[in-house]
Chain A
Amino acid sequence: MNLTRRGYAVVALVVVGEVFALAFGAQALNAIVAPVLVALLGAVVQVHRADEPTVDRSAVSPGFPGDTREVSVVADGRGVATLADGAADGLVAEGASDETTLPTELGYTVTLAERGRHKLGPLAVTVSDVLGLVERRFDTRVTTNVLVYPSVHQLAGRERILEKVLDRDAVERQEFDALREYVPGDPLRDVHWKSTAKDPEEMYVTEFADRRIEDSVVIAASCESGYADEMATAAASLAVMALDVDVAVEVRAPSGRVPVGSGIDHRDEVLKLLALTRAGRPAGDATDDVDLQVHADAGGVTLSVGTTTHTIEELTVSRANPLADREVTG
């Protein structure tokens, strides 16, 4: 708790008033000095009694660099307060401060700037009395995480990139996995005639082991230190391109991997992995089944498809986010 500029001025006024009264005895000065002193004491009491405000910030859905989100912070409490919400590097908050009376809702816009997971908050609340003589700062603790995906660019040459994959022999040997009894509703084509023929009473069906889905690609991403953003963008752009044509995608990045899958939720998983990944190489050394290898370093970002190598530059049609017009989440 400390005096504001006004508070110091008031104290000076009181002191000067006392001096004058002592020296020259202006009695009505009491009518000025005493109430002002009461105001000062009242201010101290009011601010001293103020409790730390409770803070509730809305969640922020993930997005791409350049996206904006509306944030709402509700601060509960009493009295006059100045609010300022913090934003980590990687986020740009606009209008995240206000001077008003509690309880209040502070609404502002935050722009997602850099890939990664960044913190919004904590909210700094400075409570003061009605006259602004005394103030007290509370550093609340509630923070909110914001996930920023890597930028996604529009790539060309989809057929060329994916043809190698799609050309793969679609017919794989079915692996025989297990036999079980027929249950009404099982498709007839799964009936294992051989076993059924042997048993007059029971029908048997094969239970297949899950095999690789044909239409899928494995994307592996690696980079030198400091080039993780470029790597992530390249890998994300490729994944989005593939998923757009219903090709399932598995992504292996230095920080982890997302198993093969498709769909919007799966795409978000991939984006999340690439949002958080650091620089380096994927763990493990299974590189045989990698279809698309992305590598970023000082020389640029390259994509290797089989034996052919392209630069991402030459493949990039536009830096505009191809997902911009669609729902990003859900």
Chain B
Amino acid sequence: MTDSDTDTRLSGRQKSTAEDADAARDVVTSVVDNVEQVIVGHHDEVEHILTALLGRGHVLLEDVPGVGKTMLARSVAQSFDGTFKRVQFTPDLLPSDVTGVNVYNQKTETFEFRPGPVFANVVLGDEINRAPPKTQSALLEAMEERQVSVDGDTHEVPQPYTVIATQNTVERDRTYQLPMAELDRFMKKLRLGYPERGEETDMLDRVVGSHPIETLSPVVTLENFRKARETAAGVTVDESVRDYVTRLAQYTRRHAELGASPRGTIAALRAAQGRAILDGREYVIPDDIQTEATVVFPHRIRTESAESTPRAIVDEALEAVPVE
């Protein structure tokens, strides 16, 4: 797993100070508040997406249609003045539809690269499970490598870069289910779910008339957001926390056919760093790990029996594995 803007050393090159952490926290909270002008309810999920962003991870949303996934992704992007693109995956979508194509410019007699929707700060890949495997790979390559190759040329994606992919749970035919190896690349998997009744009414209240997203303006600069991400990378991760996460992962490997991979542990630690920032700390505590574990691990765990679902195993792990 490569990551171009930081190395896999979680402590980063520089330890973040408390002031840095405060600054980063302000950035994040203002984005959250901003987003919540548009999105009603789903406060936890919004926070999860933001912490994933801070932790340089991608998010998979699994949900029923029409609960506002697009709105959510778009408002996040708009809050920090970043670009936003949406890709609707269909069974006949080609990879080039995702990555972009080289187009021949008759005037200059050269091929110009027309970037596909994958080049944006926040990319929403809708119904990723409907696309053919090759097309999925194109997106996954961009997520993983932070660059795409078209006709031999490589083009880098912008920074910061986050992919929010969605899978519908209501399917008559389960087609092209994302295989486990690919699921592993998403830092978190979230479910939005239908809003509470009060929230739904509230939402309807808001969207009658012009949709608030039209008027949503950025509240932090791209630069500040990037800085916040760096601060997150510099959050202190003590040996004991690393050890704790490893033991959690080991528990899942022991009690499921397929447990959390090392990639999963790294993802958990990065997400925890983001969570620490959100909580106003420049160091990770086990509580951060516990909060993130419930969305970072389950999609990496495969169980065969109906009695223990992946989520159940993670809950068991959180209960049984000693914190210190």
Contacts and interface: CB of A to CB of B under 8 A. Distances in A.
In the complex, A touching B (Cβ < 8 A): yes
Interface of A: 56, 58-62, 72, 145, 147, 183-187, 190, 208, 210-211, 213, 248, 259-266, 272, 329-330
A171 to B, nearest CB: 12
Contacts of B180: 264-265, 330
25 contacts: A56-B254, A58-B255, A59-B255, A60-B257, A62-B304, A145-B304, A145-B307, A147-B304, A185-B85, A186-B88, A187-B97, A208-B90, A208-B91, A210-B91, A210-B130, A210-B173, A211-B91, A248-B175, A260-B175, A262-B133, A263-B133, A265-B180, A266-B174, A330-B179, A330-B181
Interface string B287-302: 0000000000000001
B173 A259 contact: yes
B150 interface: no
Nearest to A246: B133
Given A208-B90, A213-B175, A330-B258, 17 more contacts: A61-B304, A72-B254, A145-B305, A147-B305, A187-B97, A208-B92, A210-B175, A211-B91, A261-B176, A261-B177, A262-B133, A262-B176, A263-B176, A264-B179, A265-B179, A266-B174, A329-B258
Nearest to A62: B304
Contact of B86 (A59, A185, A208, A211): A185
Interface in B236-257: 254-257
B41 to A, nearest CB: 24
Q: A-side binding surface: helix, strand, loop or mixed?
A: loop
A187 B93 contact: yes
Contacts of B133: 262-263
B9 interface: no
B117 interface: yes
Interface string B155-188: 0000000000000000011111101110000000
Given A72-B254, A208-B90, A330 B175 contact: no
A233 B255 CA distance: 28
Contacts of A211: 91
Interface of B: 70, 85-88, 90-94, 97, 117, 130, 133, 172-177, 179-181, 254-258, 302-305, 307
Contacts of A72: 254
B296 to A, nearest CB: 17
A92 B92 CA distance: 48
Contact of A261 (B87, B93, B173, B307): B173
Contacts of A59: 254-257, 303
A261 B117 contact: no
A183 B88 contact: yes
B257 A266 contact: no
A260 B173 contact: yes
Nearest to A275: B304
**Nearest 5 CB-CB pairings of A with B:** A61-B257, A185-B117, A330-B180, A185-B86, A58-B254
Contacts of B254: 56, 58-59, 72
A261 B85 contact: no
A122 to B, nearest CB: 15
A261 B133 CA distance: 12
- Best-surrounded residue of A59, A186, A265 (most CB of chain B within 10 A): A59
B184 to A, nearest CB: 9
Contacts of A265: 177, 179-180
Contacts of B70: 183
Contacts of A208: 90-92
Contacts of A186: 88
Contacts of A183: 70, 86, 88
B50 to A, nearest CB: 23
Contacts of A248: 175
A62 B303 CA distance: 10
Contacts of B88: 183, 185-186
B255 A272 contact: no
Nearest to B117: A185
A248 B94 CA distance: 18
A301 to B, nearest CB: 27
B87 A185 contact: yes
A213 B132 CA distance: 10
A263 B176 CA distance: 7
Nearest to A263: B179
Contacts of A190: 90
Contact of B177 (A145, A213, A266): A266
A258 to B, nearest CB: 8
A309 to B, nearest CB: 29
Contacts of B97: 187
Contacts of A262: 133, 176
Nearest to A262: B176
Contacts of B304: 61-62, 145, 147, 272
